[in-house]
Amino acid sequence: MKQIAFVFSLIVLMFGTLANRATAEDIDLTFLLISDIYEMANPKSKRGGFARVNALARAERSKGGNLIYAHAGDFISPSLLSGFDKGEHVVELTNIVPPDIVVPGNHEFDFGKETFLKRMAELDSTLLSANLRQADGSKVAGFEDSVMLTYGDASDPMKSVKVGIVGLTLADTPVLSSPGDLVFSDSMEVAAAQAKALKADGADVLVAILHEDIATDRSLYSGGLFDFVFSGHDHDLTVNYNGRSVMAESRAEGDLVVAVDVTFSVGEKRGKRRVKWWPNFRIIDSATVEPDPETYAKVESFQASLSKELDVPVGITTTELDSRKTTVRTTEAAIGNLIADAQRSIHKADIAIMAGGGIRGNKVYEAGTELSRRDILTELPFGNLNILLEVSGETVMAALENGVSQIESTAGRFPQVSGLTFTLDASAPTGNRVSDVMIGGGALDMNGTYTLAANDYIAGGGDGYSMLKGAKVLVGGLSAKLLANDVMVYIRKNDSIAPTVDGRIKMK
């Protein structure tokens, strides 16, 4: 009798399992990723820009399937027009085909807290950032830490999947930008807490959308807390899958956009519900995408309004100028010398330091190029002021050491200088890389006093230049002029310029 009951129970269990499996079904979901889009678009460009990105996103949405279109930050700044309207045009272009989720990057804070809050409120997207808080610890208005999205038939666990998504913003934002009193917690610690909470809330799949450096991306990816790690900030195309987790980032400016098509299979194993999945990566070259007509018309309108003011000649460079990221952030650059010389000349300062990350054109100007207002503002888009400080020799040394402290990661703090020379040993330990500093033909006097021209960003402690924050301000505030304007005045005064790499930074 017991045997008959056992067999009957086994048959019921088997048929029940088969029934569950019969009702289970696959669920398809596509992740479309963008980040680090600054320029509206150059009509001559073959790829990238808002018009092509919007066309691509519109095409993906038109397919009618499940789609999460995510923006991993950096778009309000820096761009040429943003220097004038503080990113207003960027929001207008983004909202034509708005992302489902936006996680702010460090450049969203370049114009201060008030502008950040205003621009974020104007976006037609869900805003996520779990490690961003007001000074009192409360959430920032309009932001959530995470969101839970259900796909399939929510009433049937065998026909649905729950996707938990957390947003994270670069923890170093206060160093790199100007967020005021907003607080940024450690991304890894917050991510771990959020993953635990989402799992407890029933998430089948965990997704981190973050604007962080590659080291943090890799830590989250290898740690296995999240199934999907989608990032921005590093600008490079990244696609990885280790059999357990995905890590992906699209190339900056929307040049190459990553789409990840995922099929979730809901089933049962040993009486427990299981969700399996497999990613299919699509790398979309935006050169193959026809620009979105609505967006392109807006871009053309914005460009036309700028041209009257910007396409005005400033002067001719008789030497080549290279403003590419790797150049201005790792070595002495002729364009860096030009800008630093202009800073020092305007203030008649002893020395000048310009952080390479503030030079943003990312291009090469051939010898004989006639530079325009547009060129200068493209290179210096942040609207920084040219400040004059009084500093000690000890402060100068500390500033130079900070400037070269992250050369391995092409950090924006790398110093372009004027009025001084130094030797750099990039292989030496951080804090001991600078030697043989010379100012005005003599060795740096650690106890001496010097006048230093610098933009208001690093003068206020940005990019790790905290040693400058307490320096005596000789010219600042209402008395200081826009750095870009000072550079234009310097070039005009000389009519033609011939900056070169002349040995200000000697590599050991």
Cα 446 from Cα 394, distance rounded (Å): 5
pLDDT average, residue stretch 369-396: 94
Q: Look at the alpha carbons of 119, 122, 127, 132 in this order and tell me if their dihedral is positive or negative.
A: positive
Banded model confidence at residue 24, pLDDT cuts 50, 70, 90: low
pLDDT of residue 46: 86
Strands (E), 256-303: 256-269, 272-285
Residues 205-238: tens digit of each pLDDT: 999 999 999 999 999 999 999 999 999 999 999 9
Range list for CATH 3.60.21.10 in the chain: 21-296
Is the pLDDT at 251 greater than 70, yes or no? yes
CA 8 to CA 12: how far, in whole Å? 6
Strand-pairing partners, residue 257, are: 284
Tell me the average pLDDT across 368-386: 93
Measured distance between the N- and C-terminal CA atoms of the chain, rounded to whole angstroms: 89
CA angle (469 as vertex; 465, 473 as ends), nearest 5? 125
* The architecture CATH gives domain 21-296: 4-Layer Sandwich (3.60)
Query: How high is the pLDDT of residue 4?
Result: 46
The pLDDT of residue 15 is above 50: no
Residues of the chain with CATH 3.90.780.10: 311-507
Residue 407 in 3-state DSSP?
A: helix
Beta carbons of 109 and 116 less than 8 angstroms apart: yes
Residue 278: how many other CB atoms lie within 10 Å: 11
pLDDT tens, residue by residue, 61-114: 999 999 999 999 999 988 878 877 889 999 999 999 999 999 999 999 988 999
Average pLDDT, the chain: 92
**What whole-number distance in Å separates Cα of residue 227 and Cα of residue 485?**
48
Asked whether 451 and 435 are in contact (CB, 8 A), the reply is: no
Q: How far apart are CA 266 and CA 167, in angstroms?
A: 26
Residue 79 has what pLDDT? 80
State residue 17's pLDDT score: 43
Report the C-alpha gap between 413 and 404 in whole angstroms: 7
Asked if the model's pLDDT at residue 175 lies above 90, the reply is no
pLDDT above 50: residue 260: yes
Inform me whether the pLDDT recorded for 35 exceeds 70.
yes
Q: What is the mean pLDDT of residues 500-504?
A: 97
The confidence score (pLDDT) of residue 304 equals 86
Q: Domain 311-507 classified CATH 3.90.780.10?
A: yes
